[in-house]
């Protein structure tokens, strides 16, 4: 399916937040997806992932997660200095600010004529996977996809300690999580902590472990890219 691409601006807490929108070109109503990047924001790899999902028939809205700190349009380079910059931006962002951004994008989607307000979901990568899971606390959620989400098991997200695990019973809808088996940021014990929390809260969920896949294995710009695992995640996620 062909898609359209544009940028919109939303103001949250007196900060202008750029949101990248990828949507099906044919006129109609489609499910809306709040789409979270990793710490490097909206660089080429994340934009290509957003475009890919839109082509399956979704209106995808991807916010710049560090808009309170970085200038509009900032793409953080995926190198040693970029990791320092992105992790510092994450550390300096209040958890309540992340939550406010989620609410703002979801309200935008619900008011968009191209979006079916009864079909809303979230999709995120790395820190964005954690943010997507938190956004599932909001009402009107049908499904949430988290790709190698980080920090859930220990409350690492922004300033202070995130209460994501403690609030996991607030999740609305179903959850799909994709983990890589050799991801050093989400080892086996961390994965099990998340799975047990979902089970105890009786949240409908599906968790898949991709053997030999590392962290950020869906980014196509680095040596950890795994195209086979990426294709498998897309097949699972779109069916989900």
CATH number where 75 lies: 3.40.50.1820
Over residues 183-239, the pLDDT tens digits come to 999 999 999 999 999 999 999 999 999 999 999 999 999 999 999 999 999 999 999
pTM metric for this prediction: 0.97
Per-residue pLDDT band at 172 (split at 50, 70, 90):
confident
Cβ–Cβ under 8 Å, residues 232 and 210: yes
Structural domain including 54 reads 3-239
Over residues 39-65, the pLDDT tens digits come to 999 999 999 999 999 999 999 999 999
Neighbours of 202 (CB within 10 A): 8
Question: How many domains does the chain fold into?
Answer: 1
Exposed/middle/buried for 48, CB within 10 Å: 0-12, 13-18, 19+?
Answer: middle
Residues facing 203 on adjacent strands: none
Comparing C-alpha atoms, which of 224, 227, 132, 221 is closest to residue 174?
132
> What is the number of helices (H) and of strands (E) in the chain?
6, 8
């Amino acid at each position: 399916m062909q898609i359209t691409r544009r940028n919109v601006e939303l103001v949250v807490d007196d900060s202008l937040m750029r949101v990248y929108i990828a949507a099906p070109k044919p006129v109609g109503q489609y499910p809306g997806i709040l789409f979270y990047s990793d710490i490097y924001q909206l660089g080429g790899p994340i934009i290509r992932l957003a475009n890919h999902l839109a082509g399956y028939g979704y209106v995808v809205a991807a916010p710049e997660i560090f808009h309170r700190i970085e200038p509009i349009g900032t793409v953080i380079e995926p190198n040693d200095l970029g990791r320092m910059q992105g992790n510092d931006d994450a550390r300096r962002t209040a958890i309540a600010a992340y939550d406010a951004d989620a609410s703002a994008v979801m309200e935008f989607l619900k008011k968009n004529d191209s979006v079916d307000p009864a079909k809303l979901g979230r999709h995120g990568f790395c820190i964005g996977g954690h943010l997507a899971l938190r956004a599932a606390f909001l009402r009107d959620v049908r499904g949430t996809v988290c790709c190698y989400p980080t920090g859930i098991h220990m409350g690492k997200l922004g300033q202070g300690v995130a209460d994501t695990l403690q609030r996991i019973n607030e999740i609305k809808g179903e959850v799909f999580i994709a983990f890589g088996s050799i991801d050093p940021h989400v080892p086996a014990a961390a994965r099990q902590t998340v799975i047990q929390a979902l089970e105890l809260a009786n949240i409908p969920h599906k968790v898949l472990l991709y053997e030999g896949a590392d962290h950020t294995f869906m980014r196509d710009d680095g040596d950890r890219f795994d195209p086979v695992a990426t294709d498998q995640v897309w097949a699972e996620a779109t069916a989900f």
